[in-house]
């Protein structure tokens, strides 16, 4: 395992994200606890010492399962990260209540790393509003030793990140951003990484495979990359890209099965950054992919818990993207025929509750209306 120096710590360059743990019968809220615990045990045995969870992951069950899985291991043998769920504005006045509950759920007395979760356009005003006392409370917990390192994650724009840093940057020790070779230009990740460098803040990476969308490529793109590195898998290219970016300390991967875990551990047994030719080829592949992307959904499922119709929005968006990519075709209509009428895009009432918590700022209600019209069902 490759390790990175961080202050007085040695962190595994690969961290285990707990947003996409194995689930039962495709139900995101029902984690396969036995499988998840086995994966954590395997990760520990193979050198991963950084684990990342959050209040909203798996409908609130991620913290519980990770707490159980890690409790079997000595507390000093791993680093645990959790986050204040400011992606939901109704949580803003509950920072103390939520923090105490998180410690309880995770079965720990302190968090090694703690983050302001998902700083973005929707919540920046609230995060900076002193009346909620979020910053003051988290700083007090850091002084008390119950937070060892304080940082933030950001899905928002460069300008939102800059505003947050201007207010709190002096106290931020790390920042977690969506960084991968597709978003290097598409979501301005390069500029965001450079901004963090200005503040001398190390980069933590989320969505290295963009919700799995970079785990496979077209035959043409895959062949182009294979010609340059015949031994490298397609997912490994995404991770090697991150090994090439200065400032990246921890790369978090939401691995949902043993095969993904084993492959990623294998990749991080060595540090093999891309050379100039390889980087050029990979970014050209990304440019071609961006042209085809309709909606940048990463299947985080935040939207699902806020939908009054209880629609499986990530699945509907995936079908919508496929339908748009192929300019019609049979796959989406076939899949839709197996979905109850009250769970189809036409059931969307346009309330936009989902959009208020979408990290990607997708106009979901418009997409659902367009999808329903395209399908005629």
pLDDT tens per residue across span 255-264:
889 999 999 9
Pairing of strands 23-24, 175-178: unpaired
Does residue 39 sit within a domain? yes
Tens-place pLDDT, residues 85-113: 998 889 999 999 999 999 999 999 999 99
Can you give the pLDDT at residue 324?
79
Position 298 in a domain? no
Domain-located, residue 207: yes
Q: Would you say residue 299 lies in a domain?
A: no
Same-domain check for residues 176 and 74: yes
Residues 349, 220 within the same domain: no
Amino acid 16: pLDDT:
97
Residue 221 parent element (H or E)? helix 219-228
**The token pair that represents 255 in the structure block:** 């691995």
Domain contains 350: yes
Q: Both tokens of residue 148?
A: 């060892």
Tokens 């796959």, located at residue: 331
283 and 316 part of one domain: no
Residue 325, pLDDT score? 57
pTM here is: 0.80
Q: What is the pLDDT of residue 293?
A: 64
**Domain check: are 136 and 181 in the same one?**
yes
- Which residue among 243, 261, 289 closes a domain? 289
Structural domain boundaries enclosing 138: 3-289
Q: Per-residue confidence at 182, pLDDT binned at 50, 70, 90?
A: confident
Residue 175 tokens, joined: 């920042």
Q: Are residues 223 and 327 in the same domain?
A: no
Q: Is there a contact between 32 and 22 (Cβ–Cβ < 8 Å)?
A: yes
Q: To the nearest whole number, what is the mean pLDDT of the chain?
A: 93
Domain count, the chain: 2
Conformational region of residue 252, where left means phi above 0, alpha means psi within -120 to 50, and beta covers everything else: beta
Average pLDDT over residues 175-200: 92
Both 357 and 220 in one domain: the answer is: no
Domain match, 319 and 194 both: no
- Residues 75 and 158 occupy one common structural domain: yes
Higher pLDDT, 77 or 322: 77
Task: Give the 3-state secondary structure of residue 93.
Answer: coil
123 with 28, same domain: the answer is yes
Q: Is 296 part of any domain?
A: no
Last residue within a domain, chosen from 233, 261, 289: 289
> Do 34 and 158 belong to one domain?
yes
* pLDDT higher at 136 or 185: 136
User: Does residue 285 share a domain with residue 308?
Assistant: no
Residue 203 and residue 66 share a domain: yes
* CA proximity to 201, closest of 229, 169, 246: 169
Domain boundary among 228, 261, 289: 289
Whether 205 is in a domain gets the answer: yes
What is the spatial distance between Cα 260 and Cα 244, in angstroms, rounded to a whole number? 21
Q: Render pLDDT for 140-174 as a digit per residue (tens, 0 to 9).
A: 999 999 999 999 999 878 888 999 999 999 999 99
């Amino acid at each position: 395992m490759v390790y990175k120096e961080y202050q007085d710590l040695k962190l595994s360059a690969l961290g285990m994200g707990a947003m996409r743990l194995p689930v039962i019968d495709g139900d995101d809220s029902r984690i396969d606890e036995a499988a998840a615990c086995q994966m954590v045990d395997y990760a520990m045995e193979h050198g991963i010492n950084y684990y990342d969870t959050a209040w909203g992951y798996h409908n609130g069950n991620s913290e519980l399962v990770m707490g159980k899985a890690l409790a079997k291991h000595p507390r000093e043998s791993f680093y645990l990260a959790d986050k204040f769920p400011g992606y939901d504005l109704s949580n803003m006045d509950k920072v103390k209540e939520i923090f105490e509950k998180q410690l309880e759920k995770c079965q720990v007395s302190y968090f090694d790393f703690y983050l302001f979760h998902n700083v973005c356009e929707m919540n920046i005003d609230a995060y900076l509003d002193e009346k909620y006392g979020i910053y003051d409370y988290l700083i007090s917990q850091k002084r008390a030793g119950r937070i060892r390192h304080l940082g933030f994650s950001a899905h928002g724009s460069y300008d939102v990140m800059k505003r947050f840093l201007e207010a709190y940057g002096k106290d931020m020790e790390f920042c977690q951003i969506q960084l991968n070779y597709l978003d290097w230009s598409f979501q301005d990740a390069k500029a965001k990484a450079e901004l963090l460098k200005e503040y001398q803040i190390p980069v933590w990476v989320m969505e290295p495979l963009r919700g799995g969308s970079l785990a496979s490529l077209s035959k043409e793109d895959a062949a182009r990359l294979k010609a340059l590195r015949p031994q490298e898998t397609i997912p490994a290219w995404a991770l090697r890209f991150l090994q090439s970016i200065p400032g990246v300390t921890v790369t978090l991967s939401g691995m949902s099965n043993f095969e993904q875990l084993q492959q990623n551990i294998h990749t991080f047994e060595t540090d093999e950054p891309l050379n100039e030719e390889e980087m050029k080829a990979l970014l050209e592949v990304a440019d071609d992919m961006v042209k085809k992307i309709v909606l940048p959904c990463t299947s985080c499922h935040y939207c699902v818990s806020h939908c009054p119709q209880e629609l499986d929005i990530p699945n509907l968006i995936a079908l919508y993207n496929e339908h748009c990519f192929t300019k019609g075709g049979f796959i989406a209509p076939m899949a839709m025929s197996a979905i109850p009428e009250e769970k189809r895009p036409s059931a969307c009432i346009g309330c936009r509750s989902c959009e208020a918590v979408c990290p990607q700022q997708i106009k979901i209600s418009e997409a659902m209306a367009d999808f329903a019209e395209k399908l005629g069902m």
